[in-house]
Amino acid sequence: MTQKFFKGDLVRVGKMPNYMSHFPSECQAIVIATYTEKYGKSTPRDDKQYALYILKNGEKGESSWYEENQLTFIEPDRFDLLPKNNAHRKIWEAKQLREQG
Q: What band does 1 get if pLDDT is binned at 50, 70 and 90? A: low
CA distance 15 to 37: 25
Mean pLDDT score of the chain: 89
* Cα 91–chain centre separation: 15
Phi-psi region of 17 (alpha: psi -120 to 50; beta: other; left: phi over 0): beta
DSSP of 4-70, one letter per residue? S--TT-EEEE-PPPGGGTTS--SEEEEEEEEHHHHH--SSGGGGGEEEEEE-STT--EEEEEEEGGG
Domain ranges of the chain: 10-100
Over the stretch 16-42, which tens digit does the pLDDT of each residue have?
A: 999 999 999 999 999 999 888 888 777
pTM exceeds 0.85 for this model: yes
Encode pLDDT of 45-59 as tens digits.
667 899 999 998 777
Under a CB-based contact definition with an 8 Å cutoff, are residues 73 and 4 in contact?
yes
Report DSSP state, residue 72.
Answer: E
Mean of pLDDT values over 73-91: 94
